[in-house]
Amino acid sequence: MIQADKILQFNPGDIAVNYKYNDCIFYALSVGVGMDATDTLQLPFVYEKNLSVMPMMASILGWGGRLTDPTYGIDNRMVVASDLDVELHRPLRTEDQLISQPRVSHVIDKGEGQAAIIQFQRILYQQDTTPVATIRNSIMARNQGGFGGSDGGLEAPHVMPTRAPDLTCDLPTSNNLALLFRLHGDSNPIHVDPQLAGKAGFNKPLLHGAATFGVAGHALIRCVLKTQLHHFSRMRARFAKPFFPGDTLRTEIWIDGLTVSFRCLALERNEVTLNNGCLLLHPE
């Protein structure tokens, strides 16, 4: 059974984050950028000459790791990503030395036979303690509710527009994308081992939620931000259904001033995979 008090004490301490330009390039490759090597909109993220850094890379920096200690009471075979939220306080540099401070902020009980939701928050700081980014993410421990915890605490989902999308962007993904993305540190075997993915209820290994988020971010860069990455303020979304390596991600986009709404579908199945997406822009 979920041990909420124990989970809330999770504290891996400060984590040093040191990255260079090649780490920025590898992140871009791990979310499908560079599949078209002749695309001038992709090249700046995978070529060190005038390198641009994808804002979503903050999602993999200073991660505190999976909650695998048996005393937490979590059946990790049933754990999937629930949501992800990346807020930048300044643009990411092509190389940097930062400090990450990960914590568990909420443990939510959705009820007997339902899920337990565990939300994390971490802040990336410069060496002088100036904040660079705040990352919030939740995991869903399926069928592990009913432990007697609180049923609230998460921010309400972004409300989606009801009109037809203003823009649509289709991006293919490679069959080996999860094999690349797991090298950022999330070694959950459901992303690589067909047998274990099957035991968790999936017909094949699924892509990491943070990787799907990164592909969606690529679509938003192409259609909205373009070369103006400094306008990125905050991006968040909820994970609705699994997305698999090799699928095509269709991102539907609505632009309302400085608020950009989005949702993503696995095109081949016409199934929503990311929902309630919101990109907030810095003003001009």
Segment 193-233, tens digit of pLDDT? 999 999 888 999 999 999 999 999 999 999 999 999 999 99
| Chain segment 45-81, per-residue pLDDT in tens | 999 999 999 999 999 999 998 888 899 999 888 888 8
pLDDT of 167 strictly over 90: yes
Q: Residue 177: enclosing H or E segment and its boundaries?
A: helix 177-181
DSSP three-state, residue 234 = strand
pLDDT more than 70, % of the chain = 100
CA distance 62 to 60: 7
Q: Indicate the helix (H) or strand (E) that contains 199.
A: helix 194-199
Q: Which whole number is the average pLDDT over 116-141? A: 94
Identify the band that residue 131 occupies on the pLDDT scale cut at 50, 70 and 90: very high
Domain ranges of the chain: 4-281
DSSP 135: E
Instruction: Examine the pLDDT at 153 and tell me if it is beyond 80.
Output: no
How does pLDDT run across 95-116, given as a tens digit for each residue? 999 999 999 999 999 889 888 9
* Pairing relationship of beta strands 116-125 and 167-172 according to DSSP bridges: unpaired
Amino acid 34: pLDDT: 95
Residue 30 is predicted with a pLDDT of 98
CATH 3.10.129.10 assigned to domain 4-281? The reply is yes
pLDDT, the chain, mean? 94
Q: What pLDDT score does 155 carry? A: 83
Mean pLDDT of 257-264: 98
- pLDDT surpasses 80 at 154: no
Q: What is the pTM of this model?
A: 0.94
Cα distance between residue 165 and residue 209, in whole Å? 23
CB 71 within 8 A of CB 3: yes
If one compares 173 and 75, the residue with the highest pLDDT of the two is: 173
Nearest to 212, CA basis, from 82, 39, 61: 82
**How far is 264 from 196, CA to CA, in rounded Å?**
26
Amino acid at 94: T
- pLDDT value of position 150: 76
